[in-house]
Amino acid sequence: MVECCGEKTVYQGRIRQMNITAPRGTKDILPDEISRWHAVENLFASVCERYGYGEIRTPTFEKTELFARGVGDSTDIVRKEMYTFDDKAGRSMTLRPEGTAGIARAYIENGMASLPSPVKLYYDMSFFRYEKMQKGRYREFWQLGCEIFGSSSAYADAEIIAVLDTFFTELGLSERQLELGSIGCPECRPDFITALRAHFEADLDKMCADCQERFEINPLRILDCKVETCQPFIATAPSQLDYLCGACDEHFAKVKLALDELDITYNVNRSMVRGLDYYTRTVFEYVSTHVGTQGSICGGGRYDGLVEILGGKHTPAVGFAMGIERLLLEIEAQEVEFPPLAPLDLFIISFPDTAVSALALAQKMIRSGLIVQTDVMERSLKAQMKQADRSSAQYMLVFGAEELESKQFLLKRLSDGVEHTVAVDDLADYLLKAREK
């Protein structure tokens, strides 16, 4: 065995086998866990569609420039975490690190601005970020999200939060809290930035190197710093909520009023931030209140400046995104119950001379809506019996030459061994009715 670049190369005689593993930070999703994924994804799609949102899927990679402009040059995502490569024609491409920039690009490019407003979209896509390895963080990860384009109204903000609240309620995720804030607009933000500069200036030499750089480029980003020694200075920083202009103040009040009317409780959070200019007004986050898994489950907010930055005309917009892997951890911690997978209705056992007829019978039953398995290994009778037992099928039948002739089957219920003779034409009906019992 030869170790080479972390991959194991095994020489076996003249055949060289290489054990290729999945790239670090990626994960296979296997059939035994997919039912949870389906439950979450299907419920999300159902909730979104009931609120009148249509699904959108954008390309897995986009021109790098889109994310540089649409996510922001100064963000960690763009500076450190993107999978960027030159294609064969030498153009810089990037695997999408988040959904909103690509969707805003698609909105502009497909002329969706000329559709009746608002345009309401949802998505279920995977994204790519080269992140430090930690539990529950993957370099390819999945997110569910919504975007509303074309409405500046506070009611659009309230509706998009309502989508989430309905989703969490129907999912059964009860230990959650909505954190709500406002980050103002280009009118009132400069005053806030001036106040931040004044606050941090005196202690800047006690703060981390990143923060010292952020102080020069964009002091708002200091508020995102996770470094321990910076926390005391961040905790005492002024809040944007005290610097909102009249219009932003009114907008925020209207969001809160609408949420009250919808019976959605929230905590006004005075320290929520977004470091980029095109984020405006409402910011929100759902956090888990479950002991052991506290932290953000979902983040969102208004981004009235984004479409314009990407070359469209001024279009107010609001949206959110949540990670499916994070959500699944939460579901497990909060012991949310899912309906069990539908069991196998029928296992058909066959002989070499009836195997192909058994395949045809299985196909007929499957097209009637049943879940059916038959032998595709050409195994012995005994081995097939064993497989039927292990399959937890509701019924089994043995398809021999006699059954081929008589078109009658002896159907055996595996839970108690009770047997019934059923004609081939009645078989599907019989099994479908048996499901209801």
Do the Cβ atoms of 344 and 390 come closer than 8 Å?
no
Buried-state track 246-273, b at ≥16 Cβ within 10 A, e below 16:
eebeebbebbbebbeeeebebeebeebb
Closer to Zn ion by Cβ: residue 226 or 390: 226
Closer to Zn ion by Cβ: residue 204 or 208: 208
Q: Report d(CA 191, CA 184) in Å as an integer.
A: 10
Q: In the bound complex, what is the minimum distance in angstroms from residue 151's beta carbon to Zn ion?
A: 17
* DSSP collapsed to 3 states, 65-134: HHHHHHHHCCCHHHHHHCCEEECCCCCEEEECCCCHHHHHHHHHHCCHHHCCCCEEEEEEEEEECCCCCC
Closer to Zn ion by Cβ: residue 54 or 232: 232
Buried-state track 190-225, b at ≥16 Cβ within 10 A, e below 16:
ebbeebbeebbeeeeeebeebbeebbeebbbbbbeb
Q: In the bound complex, what is the minimum distance in angstroms from residue 182's beta carbon to Zn ion?
A: 8
Closer to Zn ion by Cβ: residue 315 or 350: 315
The number of beta carbons lying within 10 Å of the beta carbon of residue 347 is: 26
Q: Is 292 helix (H, G, I), strand (E, B) or coil?
A: coil
Q: Which of these, 83, 79, 107, 87, lies nearest to 97 by C-alpha position? A: 83
Closer to Zn ion by Cβ: residue 47 or 248: 248
Q: In the bound complex, what is the minimum distance in angstroms from residue 335's beta carbon to Zn ion?
A: 37
Closer to Zn ion by Cβ: residue 153 or 357: 153
Closer to Zn ion by Cβ: residue 199 or 290: 199
Q: In the bound complex, what is the minimum distance in angstroms from residue 195's beta carbon to Zn ion?
A: 14
The number of beta carbons lying within 10 Å of the beta carbon of residue 108 is: 18
Q: Provide CB contacts within 8 A for 210, sequence distance 6+.
A: 225, 227
Closer to Zn ion by Cβ: residue 20 or 235: 235
The CA radius of gyration of the chain, in Å to the nearest whole number, is 28
Q: Report d(CA 207, CA 216) in Å as an integer.
A: 13
Closer to Zn ion by Cβ: residue 140 or 191: 191
Q: Tell me which residues touch Zn ion (CB under 5 A).
A: 184-185, 187-188, 208, 211, 225, 227, 230, 245, 248
Closer to Zn ion by Cβ: residue 151 or 282: 282
50: burial class by Cβ within 10 Å (0-12, 13-18, 19+)? exposed
Q: In the bound complex, what is the minimum distance in angstroms from residue 185's beta carbon to Zn ion?
A: 3
CA quadruple 111, 116, 122, 125: dihedral, nearest 10:
-10
Q: In the bound complex, what is the minimum distance in angstroms from residue 305's beta carbon to Zn ion?
A: 12
Closer to Zn ion by Cβ: residue 162 or 248: 248
Q: In the bound complex, what is the minimum distance in angstroms from residue 234's beta carbon to Zn ion?
A: 8
Q: In the bound complex, what is the minimum distance in angstroms from residue 172's beta carbon to Zn ion?
A: 38
Q: In the bound complex, what is the minimum distance in angstroms from residue 339's beta carbon to Zn ion?
A: 47
- Cis peptide bond prior to 97, omega within 30° of 0: no
Residue with tokens 């919808």: 262
Q: In the bound complex, what is the minimum distance in angstroms from residue 30's beta carbon to Zn ion?
A: 40
Q: In the bound complex, what is the minimum distance in angstroms from residue 228's beta carbon to Zn ion?
A: 9
Amino acid letter for position 295: G
Do the Cβ atoms of 380 and 397 come closer than 8 Å?
no
Beta bridge partners, 280, equal 302
The number of beta carbons lying within 10 Å of the beta carbon of residue 109 is: 12
- 3-state helix, strand, coil split of the chain in percent (to 5) is 40, 25, 35
